[in-house]
Amino acid sequence: MTEHRQRGVALLSVLLVTALVTLVVADMLARQRLSLAATARQLDQQHLWQMALSGETWARQQLRDDLANREDPPQVHLGQGWARTPQRWDLGGGQVQVRIEDLAGRFDLDHLRVGRSDLQRARYQRLLAQLDVPAHDPARLPTRPGPGGKAQGLLDASELLRLGDLAPQDFARLAPHVATLGGASLNLNTASAVQLASLEGLDPSLARTLVQARPADGWATVQDFLELPLLQGREVRAPGLAVDSRFFRIHLLAELGDRRLHLASDLRLEQDGHLRVLRRQVLPSPSTTE
């Protein structure tokens, strides 16, 4: 091999090695960028979580202020401070929105699992008809034995999808109107017109009128509601109705730049006044602020 060709081969070898080193370095840099991006996302997610928990702490204090030192269970109505949400404020370089909901203003699916009341079954079917959701029977779901062999309620309303009767869009319409609370009565002071219209003898128009006429501090007793002039001649029955609640959901929307976290924290008010967190779940972020 001539000296000229040897130099050419050497140069080619150097170029190949340089290209290989360049590829390796480029791959390392790309992996590092991905790692840094993943770390940044993880830190942002942790930051969002802490922001949401800060909002939850504020909401729990609001509920304690409203419900402490009251009768047990306390009367709950939309004139109380907790209901004056959503609240939104800047926090930690982002924003947090807090909304508190009385879950007893929803239909408790466990009425159809524990006790299986015909009255509650009829109310549920009327609720489904209003929402244009296919009829189905939650009692068909397998029961979970609890202490003493007693049947337990559902863990979550999404278990209804296991029946096969509901399409995802059907459940999406139903979900905001139902809960799994172990057999809680419907709170007339926070129930929507849709819920009231599911009561026997009522229709959507009258239900909307009742919501508009509802006292700012709610009805003091179920009997006060039943004795309304608007309900004379109607056969609304008292079982399963209440003016109090122990169950609340705190909706938390934390935003940091283009990242969002929608956290729902379910709480139960215990007899000693303590608010116990039953569960926290991350929900799909709404497309617009609630």
- What pLDDT, on the 0 to 100 scale, is given for residue 290? 43
At 271, the pLDDT band (50, 70, 90 cuts) reads: confident
Distance CA 200, CA 197 (A): 8
| 107-108 and 178-179 strand pairing | parallel
- What pLDDT, on the 0 to 100 scale, is given for residue 107? 98
Mean pLDDT, the chain, rounded, equals: 87
At 152, the pLDDT band (50, 70, 90 cuts) reads: confident
- What pLDDT, on the 0 to 100 scale, is given for residue 272? 86
Express each pLDDT in 212-260 by its tens digit.
999 999 999 999 999 999 999 999 999 999 999 999 999 999 999 889 9
Q: What is the mean pLDDT of residues 76-84?
A: 94
227 contacts 210 by C-beta, under 8 angstroms: no
pTM: 0.82
Q: Is the pLDDT of residue 98 over 70?
A: yes
Express each pLDDT in 153-191 by its tens digit.
788 999 999 998 899 999 999 999 999 999 999 999 999
Q: What is the mean pLDDT of residues 102-117?
A: 89
Q: What is the mean pLDDT of residues 60-76?
A: 85
- What pLDDT, on the 0 to 100 scale, is given for residue 30? 63
φ, ψ of residue 88 to 5 degrees: the values are -140, 135
Express each pLDDT in 10-57 by its tens digit.
666 666 667 666 766 666 666 656 654 555 456 567 889 999 999 999
User: Domain residues of the chain, as ranges?
Assistant: 106-240
How many residues are listed for the chain in this entry?
Answer: 290
- Sign for the pseudo-dihedral over CA of 127, 131, 135, 139: negative
- What pLDDT, on the 0 to 100 scale, is given for residue 142? 82
Task: For the chain, give the longest Cα–Cα distance.
Answer: 115
- What pLDDT, on the 0 to 100 scale, is given for residue 85? 77
